[in-house]
Amino acid sequence: MTTRRHFLQQAGLTTLALSIPFSDSIAQALGKEPKVLRVAIMGLGSYGSRVAEAMKDCGRAKLVGVISGTPSKIAQWKEKYGLSAQNCYSYETVDQIKNNKDIDAVYVTTPNALHKEHTLALAKAGKHVICEKPMATTAKEGKEMVDACKAAGVQLLIGYRMHFEANTLDIVKKQRAGEFGKTLFFQGLSGFVIGDPSQWRLNKALSGGGAMMDIGIYSINGARYLLGEDPIWVTAQETKTDPIKFGEGVDETITFQMGFPSGATASCLSTYSLNYLDKFFLSGTKGFAEMQPSTGYGPIKAKTHSGPLEHSHVTHQTTQMDEMAAIILDGKQPLIPVNGEEGLKDMRIVDAIYKAVKTGQKISL
């Protein structure tokens, strides 16, 4: 049987090629350039802009189009990124993207409450969907999105950029290898002081909640990938000091706890009223891992009982989009999943946390 290494050696490639993803190595050995994922961004706000800028440095993903409800933004992006007019759509004309062979996937960065509607429309149009987290406002909506994409034969990926970040992956690998012993405790602190009170993130109809939807989901997701299992129960408590800024259904601060099948527990805080809260801590019978900052845009700082991790910083969205291109185009399987089912797991936990806050009870999952 011809092994990958034998194939590369026979092709006369240097050992450098061994660090290139397998599909890329084959393409280069055959004298072909790796396929590039052609992406349109839907929702041209601050995060959509961040993704667009990061994609300038991508090798496998390229911005080729936009979808927006604001004509002036479309014109600005068209000029800034040299986009073809035929690849620019409004929300009203998004169904026409079905006939556009120049767009492979659409990154949805619109407000949370619009994710389902936009994902369903794109799936119907036959386009792969990358949806920013949280994938929806409820697990019910998330399930509809997963089902619609499956029925349409397109992939649904969730914008979990931390799943590709070097320090995060290093600690996950160490945990899976048993370097921390049996991991029994996770702490996640996620928060910042939110500004403009008129923004959509503080509008229940658009956000689906408050800090939990925006920042708390990092601790939910982080507990799951660092402990390597899914919780079986949650408890939660809410604190609200400003009922004007944080209206009905918009959480300001929630502390929540999760229990796992192994006996491990997680203690987490999600807030819109405190800065300097971006920390993960993992404790096991043989060691620990700490990340602070843990989920910000970088650089991430991490250490374990053996000392600091020294991974260089790469813009998270650049790595994310290149890796997602490999998932969609090559069938690559990431160490930590980023598919719709992964997003749905988090949404079920979010639903349970809100239920625990409302009832004061431990909620089984």
- Quick check: 17 pLDDT over 70? no
237 forms beta bridges with 255
d(CA 161, CA 177): 23
Q: Interhelix angle for 340-359 vs 217-227, to 10°?
A: 120
Query: Rounded distance, CA 294 to CA 71, Å?
Result: 37
Task: Supply 14's token pair.
Answer: 């240097």
Instruction: Report, in angstroms and rounded to the nearest whole number, the Rg of the chain calculated over CA atoms.
Output: 21
Asked if residue 287 has pLDDT above 60, the reply is yes
Q: How much is the average pLDDT of 15-27? A: 45
Which one of the listed residues 160, 218, 225, 354 is annotated catalytic? Answer: 218
Nearest-angstrom CA–CA distance, 119 and 142: 10
Mind listing the pLDDT tens digit for each residue in 196-239?
999 999 999 999 999 999 999 999 999 999 999 999 999 999 99
Residue 133 annotated to the active site:
yes
Q: What is the pLDDT of residue 187?
A: 98
The average pLDDT across 297-316 equals 97
User: What is the pTM (predicted TM-score) of this model?
Assistant: 0.91
pLDDT for the residue numbered 260: 99
The confidence score (pLDDT) of residue 220 equals: 98
| CA dist., res. 8 & res. 14, Å (int) | 8
Residue 6 has pLDDT above 90, yes or no: no
Q: How confident is the model at residue 7 (pLDDT cuts 50, 70, 90)?
A: very low
pLDDT band at 321 (very low <50, low <70, confident <90, very high): very high
Between strands 183-191 and 265-271, the pairing is parallel
Mean pLDDT computed over 259-275: 98
Mean pLDDT of 285-290: 98
Structural domains of the chain ordered from first start: 4-160 (3.40.50.720), 162-314+340-364 (3.30.360.10)
pLDDT at 20 > cutoff 50: no
**pLDDT reading at 179 higher than 70:** yes
Classify residue 50 by burial, with Cβ atoms within 10 Å: 0-12, 13-18, 19+.
Answer: middle
Pairing of strands 37-42, 61-67: parallel
**Residue in 89, 107, 127, 133 annotated catalytic:** 133
Compute the average pLDDT of residues 105-110. Answer: 98
C-beta of residue 61 within 8 angstroms of C-beta of residue 55: yes
